[in-house]
Structure 1
Amino acid sequence: MVDELKSHQQNGTWELVDPPEGRKVVGCRWVYKLKRNAAGEITKYKARLVAQGYSQKYGVDYDEVFAPVTSHTTLRVLLAVASKRRMTLKHFDVKTAYLYGDLDEEIFMRQPPGFAVKGREGMVCRLKKSIYGLKQSARCWNQRLHSVLVEMGFEQSATDPCLYTKVVSGKRVYLLVYVDDIMIDCEDEAQIDSVYEQLKRYFEVTNLGEPSDFLGLKIECKDRKYSVSVGGYIDRVADRFGLREAKKAKTPMEEGFASSEDKSPKLSDDNEYRSLVGALLYISVCARPDVAASVAILGRKVSSPTEADWVAAKRVVRYLKATKEWKLSYGDAGGQLVGYSDADWAGDAGTRKSTTGFVFNYAGGAVSWVSRRQSCVTLSSMESEYVALSEASQELIWLRSLLADMGEQVEGPVTVMEDNQSCIQFVKSDRKSRRSKHIEVKQHFVKQLCEDGSMKLQYCPTEDMVADVLTKPVGSTKLQKLARMMGMSS
């Protein structure tokens, strides 16, 4: 708490003034937090002075509040590019980052509880800088950091506003921002040191060395090839739900689970189920595409889960415990961007809607994946595959743009693997039939991309269709094979 107050004093966050007449004074409180690394180990005990921003009024105390946040996909693409180019990564941390933001509004706050200045207890703080808890603090800090990075010669990505790049002596420097955490990578370590020294002129920055965890991911490096995993988080989830010693499972879900009718009783208390599914969703989004389909199926039941759903959710944890050492690895210097698109047909027993599954690999590992129920009911397996291709093609455009911002030009069309011959023929043909004339215009985006040379469809046998694992639960042998094709291994 004393260190936190010293940071405010050094930063000049506020000045004491008499309470203003007719103006609302925002309260504040102390918040205590344990900071953990990716392995779940406590690395720091933190006390943060937080303004009670819930009492602020729009148009009076704040206007715009939006601040961009990077995605796990961008982080994985960055690690894939770094592995491909054998680049060095470093992790910077900005201490009390929000205190560097400049406020446009005049805001008054009560003095910190337990630390009111003796003899001036009746006075309040007029904020000169942003502070944690205010609705606009994240935006203020982001704008301040952006202005500094632009001044340093960095260019903001149009695809992900949290990614910055610049070229120095023919070598690219990448900088990825997540609130107060900054990941920087470059082939020349001297350039990383130069950026660090420049940032120190503006902020109190700590160089944490090679990143061991970022965005909740454990990052490992071997010969400048990077891998990500979430083993520590899996252990914490297993402990929380009493599954540390539970019997391990070979697959996350029984085959046919989603298509079978569930007649088991409703759960009397669904809060634990929702919490567990939320934790599993985080794991699948971070680094475990092999459980994405199972988690998506469980997620559809959060409003009314049954006892069978609860057993199925715990089975996913038992599978994750058995495979917690699995990593998603990058490093294939020749590995180009390639996609796999697939769909089941009417696999949801309740709605008869199909499930889209697609994955894009780069530098030998999966960088983007989706398992998502389609918004419409399709009338054939060809149509469900076509809808899935439409969704995959949108992600393809975004990934091409992101790689271009990093200087990784994707030459020629991106190959997307498809295991449905009828779907491939439909994309190539201009002919309309009675069974396909109803398909929505937006799905025909696929045809346009193939015609303009952005995307190329290639037939893939079903046994080698990586995205199959994203459409439905599969058996153990197939699951392990497809996981390896996504760059996963222990």
Structure 2
Amino acid sequence: MEQPPGYARCGPDKVWLLKKTMYGLRQASRAWYKRLKDVLETAGYQVSSNDPALFHKLNPEAAFASVHVDDILSASASLDEVQDLKSALRKVFDITNMGDVKHYLGMKVLRDRKRRMLKLSQRQGAVELKQYQELMGSLNYLANCTRPDIAQAVGLLSRFLHAPTTEHAAASKSVLRYLAGIKDLWIVYSGSDTIMKGFCDADFAGDLDSMRSTTSYVFLVNGGAVCWGPRLQKTVALSTMEVEFVAFTSGASEGLWLEQLRANYGLSKAPVLIFNDSQSAIAMLKNPIVQSRAKHIDVRYHFVRERVEMQEISVSYNSTKDMMVDIFTKPLPANSFVACRAGMGIK
């Protein structure tokens, strides 16, 4: 927080005392609720013991007030009770009287008084949700087939398929604008180098909601990507070495499958070559000694060690700046993004 423009700074030892809450502060919503609760209780309402956002008043006429932040829906058998509530709120707050409820919290409300029927619908929201889901389906298809450069953004947006907001819709349109600007990109396979090379990496606790990490991998043949993807790890890791172990597991599983597929097509079978930028994880794979910081790592992630010992997998170090799979784990500056994209043979 910074002081308002135009006020002189009085030195590092002087601080401002905030006498009341401000919009945007962490405690602002709590302060608003307490203030609204006081006003409603003064008007004779009581807070429900089952739902702190529901207030009721039983005498002389039953009346109810449902609160969602600053949207208040009132209901009563007596119109006077509804008017009294509006008057009580108007004395303290600037309010807008929306009349009979027709829409509330994105829901369409249809009331048939003669038939004593009340209908709720979210048709528009359902249409918008369907549109978002269809868009994500199309973008996922692109990301999985020929456009690994959008895989990170699409994967992140796909986590909100069932409850997208306007921010998610705006972000999805940014992906569309990016695609529209460079429609003629190709994955180019060229040269005589048929040796498959894999790159795997992971961020650390990159998902702020679950504190889980994201695994990323890509496999190249003849300079072009043949298999790739970001994957949100299923468990919370305690160290960067642990997340790299999990990343190696995903990458190795994919690489072994690809190598078997290549063997089916008559290509000579060779150890799967995987590059990573974690020297500690590589050292643990090549020299599987017991370390206190690795004791807790789930046994299923240690199968890579076995495959390294069996010489089915070969692990090597690659510097962080040359790890093209960074494009899958986080947003990158433009220059780094273009370099990673080109590294996968996308031209």
TM-score range, shorter chain: 0.5 to 0.7
- Say whether 1:462 aligns with 2:315: no
Alignment-mate amino acid for residue 417 of structure 1: F
Match of 1:444 among 297, 302, 310: 302
Give the alignment partner of residue 388 of structure 1, picking from 240, 243, 247: 247
Instruction: Pick the aligned partner of 1:399 from 255, 258, 265.
Output: 258
Deviation at 1:377, TM superposition (A): 0.8
CA RMSD of aligned residues (A): 1.6
Residues 280-291 of structure 1: pairs in structure 2 closer than 5 A = 280-291=139-150
> Percent identity among equivalent residues?
37
User: What is the correspondence of 1:188-207 to structure 2 with a 5 Å cutoff?
Assistant: none
SS in 2 for 1:470: helix
Among residues 431, 434, 450, which one is paired with 2:289 in the alignment? 431
Matched, 1:322 2:192: no
**Letter aligned with residue 319 of structure 2:** P
Per-residue displacement from partner, 1:240-260 (whole Å, max 9, x unpaired)? xxxxxxxxxxxxxxxxxxxxx
Is 1:484–2:342 an aligned residue pair? yes
1:90 alignment counterpart: none
Alpha-carbon deviations, 1:306-355, whole Å to 9, x = none?
21111111111111111210000112212410000010111001001111
1:5-154 matches, within 5 Å, as none
**2:127 matches 1:271:** no
Q: What is the deviation of 1:410?
A: 3.2
SS in 1 for 2:269: coil
**1:470 Cα deviation from its structure 2 partner:** 1.4
Matched-pair contact (CA < 8 Å) for 2:256–2:272: no
Q: Offset of 1:420 from its aligned partner?
A: 1.0
Map Cα deviations across residues 95-114 of structure 1 (whole Å, 9 max, x no partner).
xxxxxxxxxxxxxxxxxxxx
Mapped pair 1:375 → 2:234 = yes
Task: State the partner residue of 1:332.
Answer: 191
| Residue 350, structure 1, aligned to residue 218, structure 2 | no
| Counterpart contact for 1:353–1:375, Cα < 8 Å | yes
> How has the CA–CA distance of structure 1 residues 402 and 393 changed in structure 2, closer, same or farther, with 3 Å as cutoff?
same
Do the aligned partners of 1:337 and 1:410 also contact (CA within 8 Å) in 2? no
Pick from 304, 322, 330 the counterpart of residue 472 of structure 1.
330
- Secondary structure of 2:297's partner? coil
CA contact (8 A) 2:202 2:214 kept: yes
Question: How far, CA to CA, are the matches of 1:481 and 1:328 in structure 2?
Answer: 14
SS for the counterpart of 1:457 is strand
> What residue is the counterpart of 1:453 in the other structure?
311
Q: Give runs of aligned pairs for residues 230-241 of structure 1, distance below 5 A.
A: none
Instruction: Provide the C-alpha distance between the structure 2 equivalents of 1:430 and 1:463, rounded to a whole number of angstroms.
Output: 27
Cα distance in 2, alignment partners of residues 454 and 466 from structure 1: 23
Who is 1:63 aligned against?
none
In structure 1, the gaps of 5 or more residues are: 1-264
Please give the alpha-carbon distance, in whole angstroms, between the structure 1 residues aligned to 2:312 and 2:180.
Answer: 40
Tell me how far apart the structure 1 counterparts of residues 288 and 231 of structure 2 sit (CA, whole Å).
28
Separation in structure 2 between the aligned mates of residue 332 and residue 449 of structure 1, nearest angstrom: 29
1:258 alignment partner in structure 2: none
Shift >6 Å, 4+ stretches? none
Partner amino acid, structure 1, of 2:230: S
Deviation at 1:394, TM superposition (A): 0.6
* Offset at residue 365 of structure 1 (A): 0.5
The structure with higher relative contact order (CA 8 Å, sep 6+) is: 1
Structure 2 Cα separation of the partners of residues 363 and 385 of structure 1: 26
Q: Counterpart amino acid of 2:292?
A: R
Matched, 1:313 2:199: no
- Given that 1:354 and 1:377 are in contact with CA atoms closer than 8 Å, whether structure 2 keeps it comes out as yes
Q: Deviations over 1:109-164 (max 9, x none)?
A: xxxxxxxxxxxxxxxxxxxxxxxxxxxxxxxxxxxxxxxxxxxxxxxxxxxxxxxx
With normalisation by structure 1, the TM-score equals 0.44
| CA shift for structure 1 position 432 | 2.2
Q: Rg: which structure is higher? A: 2
User: What is the aligned length?
Assistant: 224
Partner Cα separation in structure 2 for residue 443 and residue 430 of structure 1: 13
Indicate conservation of the 8 Å contact 2:288/2:305, yes or no: no
Per-residue deviation, residues 180-215 of structure 1 (Å, max 9, x unmatched): xxxxxxxxxxxxxxxxxxxxxxxxxxxxxxxxxxxx
Deviation of 1:437 after TM superposition, in Å, equals: 0.8
Distance in 2 (alpha carbons) for counterparts of 1:414 and 1:431: 23
* Deviation string, structure 1 residues 423-457 (Cα, Å, up to 9, x no partner): 11121222222321111111011101111111111
Whole-angstrom CA distance in 2 between matches of 1:410 and 1:485: 25
2:283 counterpart letter in structure 1: Q
User: Which residue pairs with 2:159 in the alignment?
Assistant: 300
Structure 1 Cα separation of the partners of residues 165 and 301 of structure 2: 35
More strand by share: 1
For 1:404 and 1:335, the matched residues in 2 are separated by 12
Question: AA paired with 2:241?
Answer: M
Work out the CA distance in 1 between the residues paired with 2:318 and 2:268.
Answer: 25
